[in-house]
Structure 1
Amino acid sequence: MQKVQTDRREFMKYSTLGILGLVLGGGMIFSPYTLRAENRLRPPGAVDEKKFLALCIKCGQCLQVCPYHSIKLTDMAHGHGVGTPYIDANERACYACSAVPCVLACPSGALDHHTEKPEDIKMGIAVLEHPDTCIAMKNIPIPAGYMDKMSKFNDSVTNLHDLEVELLEKFSEFEGKQCTLCADMCPIPNPLSAIAMVPDAGGGNRPEIYDGCIGCGACQDVCPTTIPSIIVKPRVTYEEYYASKK
Structure 2
Amino acid sequence: MNRREFGIFSITAIGCAAGGGVLINKFYEPKLHLRPPGSAENFESLCIKCGQCVQVCPYHSIELLGLDDGINIASAYINPSKRGCYLCDLFPCVLACPSGALDHSINSIKDVKMGVAVVRDIQKCYATLNKSVSQDNISTLLERKTYNQREEEAKKIIENNINKSCSLCVDSCLVDGAINFIEIDGKKVVKIESNCVGCGVCQEVCFAGVIEILPQKSYKEIYEE
The Cα of 1:79 is off from its aligned counterpart by 2.4
Q: Give the structure with higher Rg (CA).
A: 1
CA offset digits 1:26-67 (Å, max 9, x no partner): 98xx7689943210000000111xx11111110101101100
TM-score (norm 2): 0.85
1:74-89 superposed matches below 5 A: 74-89=65-80
Determine which of 169, 182, 197 is the counterpart of 2:156. 169
The RMSD of aligned alpha carbons is 2.1
Q: Report the equivalent of 2:223.
A: 242
Gaps of 5+ in 1: 1-22
Does the CA contact (< 8 Å) of 1:36 and 1:79 recur in 2?
Answer: no
Q: Report the equivalent of 2:179.
A: 195
Q: Report the equivalent of 1:15.
A: none
Q: Report the equivalent of 1:185.
A: 172
1:200-215 superposed matches below 5 A: 200-201=184-185, 203-215=186-198
Gaps of 5+ in 2: 1-15
Determine which of 59, 73, 82 is the counterpart of 1:68. 59
Q: Report the equivalent of 1:232.
A: 213
1:139-154 superposed matches below 5 A: 139-154=130-145
For 2:74 and 2:220, the matched residues in 1 are separated by 31
Q: Which runs of 4+ in 1 moved over 4 A?
A: 30-35
Determine which of 201, 204, 207 is the counterpart of 1:218. 201
For 1:102 and 1:149, the matched residues in 2 are separated by 26
For 2:202 and 2:184, the matched residues in 1 are separated by 18
1:112 partner SS: coil
Does the CA contact (< 8 Å) of 2:168 and 2:202 recur in 1?
Answer: yes
For 1:216 and 1:171, the matched residues in 2 are separated by 17
> How many residue pairs are counted as aligned between the two chains?
207
Does the CA contact (< 8 Å) of 1:53 and 1:84 recur in 2?
Answer: yes
Distance 1:32 1:152, change over 3 A: farther
Does the CA contact (< 8 Å) of 1:200 and 1:206 recur in 2?
Answer: yes
1:154 partner SS: coil
For 2:87 and 2:122, the matched residues in 1 are separated by 25
CA offset digits 1:81-121 (Å, max 9, x no partner): 11100000011111111211111111110011111122211
Does the CA contact (< 8 Å) of 1:43 and 1:111 recur in 2?
Answer: yes
Does the CA contact (< 8 Å) of 2:157 and 2:171 recur in 1?
Answer: no
CA offset digits 1:125-176 (Å, max 9, x no partner): 0111221211111111112223322233326xxxx12211111122111111
